[in-house]
Amino acid sequence: MTIIKVRENESIEEALRRFKKECERNGIMQEIKRRVLRAAERPTQKESDGSAPQNAPPHDEGIGDFVPTLPQLSKELLEAMKSKDPVRVSTLRMLVSAIRYKEVEKKKDLSEGEVLDVIQSEAKRRKESIDEYTKASRADLAAKEEAELNVLKVYLPQALTEAELKALVQAAIQSSGAKAPQDMGRVMSVVMPQIKGRADGKQAQSLVQQALSGAK
């Protein structure tokens, strides 16, 4: 694993450049590029005969069809390169690299939920950078992070409204047969897979608690 320490008074951008150079020196970037190209050029079984791939990552119930696969992202990266879209290229390149790194770390293909976790992590990092640069009066760098965040948002599910979340909580309470606050765990086990990436878990927990506390 390649690790660098951020130096005193060093910007995040400078640290990332040093990290990239270290990865290139160790041959990591070259390996990632080779894998990205192989994934983009290799048709999936579903594309060739309409059936699901035999070794496809597990489908996570409740997440839906919006989570992109690594081959899809790799293909979109190549398309961004051809169209010479620098923001999209840099964002997708880092996203694909992050997914590949996580797969190497876990020694397996990522599930839809795990891919979504990586995308959310990348989006969160952009949001934190925007806040930091805004506080430092670096509007130019904040704008760059905002542009990359907008690319990532395309791959994130649409957030649930409070009304939709309340309806989902009520349905989970009914389906689980929960009657009292001590049944919260049972309800949350139904709710969480359905709201992954779409709503805050703490907000859902609060709504479940309120609903069960008022249930008689």
Distance CA 204, CA 188 (A): 8
Answer yes or no: is 102 within a domain: yes
pTM of the model: 0.59
Indicate if 172 and 128 belong to the same structural domain: no
pLDDT tens figures, 22-55: 666 655 555 555 555 555 544 444 444 444 445 5
Angle at CA of residue 98, ends 25 and 61, nearest 5°: 160
Distance CA 144, CA 136 (A): 14
pLDDT tens figures, 118-145: 998 999 999 999 999 999 999 999 999 9
Q: What's the chain's Rg over C-alpha atoms?
A: 21
Indicate if 166 and 149 belong to the same structural domain: no
Indicate if 148 and 114 belong to the same structural domain: yes
Query: 198 vs 10, 39, 44, CA distance in Å?
Result: 35, 28, 28
Indicate if 113 and 191 belong to the same structural domain: no
Q: Is the model's pLDDT at 13 over the cut of 70?
A: no
Q: Is 212 helix (H, G, I), strand (E, B) or coil?
A: helix
Indicate if 144 and 210 belong to the same structural domain: no
| Terminal Cα distance for the chain, rounded | 54
Closest CA to 191 of 123, 178, 179, 124: 178
| The predicted structure's pLDDT at residue 23 | 63
Indicate if 70 and 22 belong to the same structural domain: yes
Indicate if 93 and 119 belong to the same structural domain: yes
Answer yes or no: is 3 within a domain: no
Identify the CATH number of the domain in which residue 202 sits.
1.10.10.410
Distance CA 154, CA 133 (A): 23
How many domains does the chain fold into?
2
Answer yes or no: is 25 within a domain: yes
